[in-house]
């Protein structure tokens, strides 16, 4: 059964949705008109959507901005449209009443071509119908008028397809022998050798290239089996000719990206994957861009407004403008940083936004509870400033991700987006930290017990889940509407306390607590500062880097560089461009310095010393 083709042109998709529920007689007339349209289309001519609908249905719709479709693209999908209309109407061979219809196999025999070549012909305007045979199975058939017109207009292509012959084993051996000679004496690549051999043998470049690639694949597999001892006669193993590096697939690109994050020497990565450093840098950039695009599509940075709907786009613009104006007013009301005095009120220059960030979090249960109890009351103006800055950073990241080039993303843009996302995580961490006391009070109020008296077996998971629930409430909170964050978090924490109470209920009896061993006060909590946003797994360095920086690297300059880079000095993270200006580096030198500093922090015993010049 031939598969039902898909449509990629939105105008044809809309047209098919309008016609698929029409009566069978109406669909037959639309199909005849679509076949006639395919014969009248010129490849270089653009055609408006309303005119196409008129040619197929006989009625011109009223469209404010009709889509323009290039003739070559329209011709390539008209056959798919006709097939889908035939399938929607369950049109059978008996409904056509045309004895001159030719099946696809018979047409292949008539033109002396394969089915795959016939599929390519259909992309050039050969419209086929999907008709139900008496046995109930669909068959692709072609009308006599369509075949005759295509034979007149594409006679040369049909003749070349009929003259095609497969490469014989003798010719394949000669091709491989000649390619080996080109490689040995001229040092040519596989592609260069295929181009010259194609001229000598009168074949297409792609056909010769596929022959050489198949030989290289077979030779590589045979050599691998020989090295593994799976070949009885090693002399029969065919030698490889070109032994070119494998393409950077998604899996290999991810491996290059992980090596870059760990600060591994680019020379080692280049030797491992047999790619130049510029090629590896582009692979890393593409991997970073793909991840950012994936996060934006998943909604980790907020919901993208529907730009096609004017009302929704205008509402989103008003909300963003109100958020920026409110944040700017807060920035002017709070003690500003020195830079904001020079540039004026900026939401990202307010003192709570650029100071007091990335303080280490407690890693024990007792430390977590003590820190939560010791937290003072939340200062409303600081909370609003950090909330406004957090949502503003996410919106800016979303806008810049939408402007990224998919194949050649700029490294400076990627670094700026990732730095803003790290900054947003620092602000969210402080917002969560300010609400921990509320979480403890809510849980104790529900359980009527102090947290210190509860069993500790499930407490680590409960505390981490509580942190995550606070983070979800922060993401969903709309600071432009006013109100306090505590209101939204109280509801979330109350539901969280009820769930946890159900889990520990078998351990608690009325009036007293069932005996339960208390665990020692060790590091029984993960570093939850790296769990406030899903993207931190990919944007934050290895935890060992911060431990090395806090312990003091042998090179103070490298420790200061990494602390400023990732915002561990109390201020916001810095881009490579700003660090290059601060340390008087070039931008390239700053990138190299970062990689060497990361490697030295993770492997101090075998790392290359970091030099600034």
Helix segments in 202-309, DSSP class H:
205-227, 250-261, 266-273, 277-298
How far is the C-alpha of 297 from the C-alpha of 282, rounded, in Å?
A: 22
More confident residue, 577 or 204: 577
Contact 493, 462 (CB under 8 A): no
Q: What is the pLDDT of residues 102-118, one digit of tens each?
A: 888 888 888 888 788 88
Domain boundaries, the chain: 10-162, 169-236, 250-298, 310-540, 541-613
| pLDDT of amino acid 334 | 45
pLDDT of 475 > 80? The answer is yes
Residue whose C-alpha is closest to residue 360's, from 602, 550, 554:
550
User: 99-103, 132-136, 482-486, 590-594 — which one is most confidently predicted on average?
Assistant: 590-594
The Cα-based distances of 602 to 187, 264, 513 in angstroms read 41, 10, 46
Contact 348, 389 (CB under 8 A): yes
Cut 0.85: pTM above it: no
The residues near 339 (Cβ < 8 Å, ≥ 6 apart) are 349
Mean pLDDT confidence for 341-353? 69
Half-sphere exposure of residue 474, counting CA atoms within 13 Å on the CB side?
30
Range 541-613 has CATH code 2.40.160: no
**Which band of pLDDT confidence, cut at 50, 70 and 90, is reported for residue 376?**
confident
Q: What is the pLDDT of residues 15-42, one digit of tens each?
A: 888 888 888 888 889 988 988 888 888 8
How far is the C-alpha of 337 from the C-alpha of 352, rounded, in Å?
A: 9
Dig out the tokens for 321 from the structure. 């403008």
Q: What is the pLDDT of residues 508-532, one digit of tens each?
A: 544 454 444 444 545 588 889 999 9
How far is the C-alpha of 206 from the C-alpha of 211, rounded, in Å?
A: 9
How far is the C-alpha of 454 from the C-alpha of 466, rounded, in Å?
A: 16
How big, in percent rounded to 5, are the helix, strand and coil portions of the chain? 65, 5, 30
């Amino acid at each position: 059964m031939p598969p039902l083709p898909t449509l990629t042109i939105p105008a044809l998709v809309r047209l098919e949705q309008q016609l698929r529920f029409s009566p069978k007689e109406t669909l037959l007339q639309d199909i005849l008109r679509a076949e006639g349209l395919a014969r009248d289309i010129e490849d270089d001519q653009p055609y408006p959507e309303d005119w196409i609908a008129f040619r197929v249905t006989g009625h011109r719709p009223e469209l404010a901005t009709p889509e323009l479709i290039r003739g070559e693209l329209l011709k390539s999908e008209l056959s798919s449209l006709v097939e889908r209309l035939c399938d929607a109407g369950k049109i059978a061979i008996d409904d056509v009443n045309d004895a001159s219809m030719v099946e696809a196999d018979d047409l292949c025999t008539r033109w002396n071509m394969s089915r795959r070549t016939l599929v390519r012909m259909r992309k050039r305007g050969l419209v086929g119908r999907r008709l139900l045979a008496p046995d109930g199975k669909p068959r692709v058939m072609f009308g006599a008028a369509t075949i005759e017109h295509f034979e007149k207009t594409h006679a040369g292509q049909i003749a070349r397809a009929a003259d095609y012959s497969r490469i014989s084993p003798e010719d394949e051996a000669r091709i491989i022998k000649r390619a080996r000679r080109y490689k040995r004496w001229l040092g040519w690549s596989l592609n260069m050798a295929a181009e010259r051999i194609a001229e000598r043998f009168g074949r297409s470049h792609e056909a010769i290239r596929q022959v050489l690639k198949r030989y290289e694949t077979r030779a590589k597999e045979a050599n691998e089996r020989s090295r593994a001892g799976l070949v009885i006669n090693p002399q029969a193993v065919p030698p490889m000719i070109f032994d070119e590096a494998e393409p950077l697939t998604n899996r290999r690109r991810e491996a290059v990206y992980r090596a870059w994050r760990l600060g591994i020497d680019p020379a080692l990565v280049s030797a491992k994957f047999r790619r130049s450093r510029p090629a590896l840098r582009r692979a890393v950039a593409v991997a970073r861009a793909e991840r950012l695009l994936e996060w934006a599509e998943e909604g980790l940075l907020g919901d993208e407004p529907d730009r096609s709907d004017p009302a929704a786009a205008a509402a989103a613009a008003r909300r963003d403008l109100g958020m920026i104006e409110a944040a700017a007013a807060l920035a002017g009301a709070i003690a500003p940083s020195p830079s904001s005095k020079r540039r004026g009120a900026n939401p990202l220059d307010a003192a709570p936004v650029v100071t007091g960030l990335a303080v280490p979090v407690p890693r024990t249960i007792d430390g977590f509870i003590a820190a939560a109890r010791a937290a003072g009351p939340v200062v409303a103006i600081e909370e609003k400033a950090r909330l406004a800055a957090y949502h503003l950073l996410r919106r800016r990241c979303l806008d810049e991700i939408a402007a990224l080039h998919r194949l050649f993303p700029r490294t400076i843009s990627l670094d700026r987006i990732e730095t803003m996302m790290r900054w947003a995580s620092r602000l969210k961490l402080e917002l969560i930290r300010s609400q921990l006391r509320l979480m403890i009070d809510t849980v104790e109020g529900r359980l009527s017990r102090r947290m210190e008296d509860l069993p500790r077996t499930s407490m680590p998971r409960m505390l981490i889940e509580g942190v995550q629930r606070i983070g979800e409430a922060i993401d969903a909170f709309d600071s432009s509407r006013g109100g306090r964050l505590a209101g939204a978090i109280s509801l979330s924490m109350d539901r969280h306390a009820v769930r946890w109470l159900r889990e520990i209920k078998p351990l608690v009896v009325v009036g007293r607590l069932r005996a339960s061993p208390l665990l020692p006060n060790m590091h029984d909590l993960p570093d939850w500062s790296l769990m406030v946003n899903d993207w931190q797994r990919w944007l934050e360095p290895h935890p060992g880097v911060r431990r090395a920086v806090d312990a003091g690297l042998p090179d103070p300059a490298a420790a200061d560089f990494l602390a400023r880079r990732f915002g561990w000095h109390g201020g916001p993270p810095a881009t490579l461009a700003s660090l290059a200006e601060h340390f008087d580096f070039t931008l390239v030198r700053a990138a190299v310095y970062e990689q060497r500093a990361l490697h030295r922090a993770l492997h101090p015993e075998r790392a290359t010393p970091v030099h600034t010049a």
